[in-house]
Amino acid sequence: MDITSIGIVGAGQMGNGIAHVCALAGYDVTLTDVNSDALEEAVKIIGTNLDRQVSREKIAQNDRDAAMQRIRTTSALIDLGPSDLIIEAATEREDVKHAIFAELLPALKPETILTSNTSSISITRLASRTDRPEKFMGFHFMNPVPVMQLVELIRGIATDEPTYDACRSVVDRLEKTAATAEDFPAFIVNRILMPMINEAVYTLYEGVGTVTSIDTSLKLGANHPMGPLELADFIGLDTCLAIMNVLHDGLADTKYRPCPLLTKYVEAGWLGRKTQRGFYDYRGEGDPVPTR
């Protein structure tokens, strides 16, 4: 299938990043969100990020302008109906994703491919509730999308080869690298990354180290660009907890038990950078201050 238009559900950090790279690659993009303010903010963020690429001479000004002209926004989910490919990038809650696909289905063309940017939820289970499980797969971008080179492509049990090939072609056109993952909880990246973050929280919870010493140890001792607690704040502690719960429930192994301290932070609404507090407090003007 020749994909020329892409519909993106969700205008948050992932959604606006996906819209950015797809429009820059020449696709006509329709971005939707239930929150009209989020759509307006997404367009501003995309423009700012494209301007940054121009200033760094990564793209030309005319490419930036053309990309912005390819993006349109709408609050009506059914307006994505004519799209060749749908990328769902809504919140990491399975019930929300099922509701989105249920509303979309009557408006779609028979040949439209459905994908989810989920970081951990079963692709097979999401696909089974649609009318096209063979044309459904996982399309998992890394954050921040314009910078990160990897895309995980996850086949559900029913995904057919033409659907995989079409999605692989999109990844190639975006000039990113595809990694094929099987449909098991959290796929590849988060299956490895989230338990490391969870173990870092346990290390903090048990008093083995402070926020600062844990992050410094991994940055300097393992050459990681960000410490695990800093990275958790960047990802969102609610997202980290959701993925750990998927791993724990899906694999029934106690090694994936979420740390109680991670749960406590999420209960407090301290979700990281997006709420200005997590393992660090970002509300001051200087460097973020550890909260524990």
Is 158 a known ligand-binding residue?
no
88, 152, 198, 230: which one is catalytic?
Answer: 152
Is 269 a known ligand-binding residue?
no
The string over 4-32, giving b where at least 16 C-beta atoms fall within 10 Å of a residue's C-beta and e elsewhere, is ebbbbbbbbbbbbbbbbbbbbbebbbbbb
Is 175 a known ligand-binding residue?
no
Is 15 a known ligand-binding residue?
yes
83, 190, 198, 230: which one is catalytic?
Answer: 190
Is 232 a known ligand-binding residue?
no
Please answer whether residues 276 and 269 qualify as being in contact, where contact means their C-beta atoms are separated by less than 8 angstroms. no
Tokens 């001051």 belong to residue: 284
Is 236 a known ligand-binding residue?
no
Is 97 a known ligand-binding residue?
yes
Is 68 a known ligand-binding residue?
no
Q: Catalytic: 119?
A: yes
Q: Catalytic: 190?
A: yes
117, 119, 120, 122: which one is catalytic?
Answer: 119
Please answer whether residues 158 and 130 qualify as being in contact, where contact means their C-beta atoms are separated by less than 8 angstroms. no
Q: Catalytic: 224?
A: no
**β pairing state of 280-281 and 289-290:** antiparallel
Q: Catalytic: 16?
A: no
Is 14 a known ligand-binding residue?
yes
116, 140, 198, 230: which one is catalytic?
Answer: 140
Is 143 a known ligand-binding residue?
yes
Give catalytic residues, as residue numbers.
Answer: 119, 140, 152, 190
Cite the annotated binding site for NAD(+) by residue number: 10-15, 33, 92, 97, 119, 143, 274
Write out the binding residues.
Answer: 10-15, 33, 92, 97, 119, 143, 274
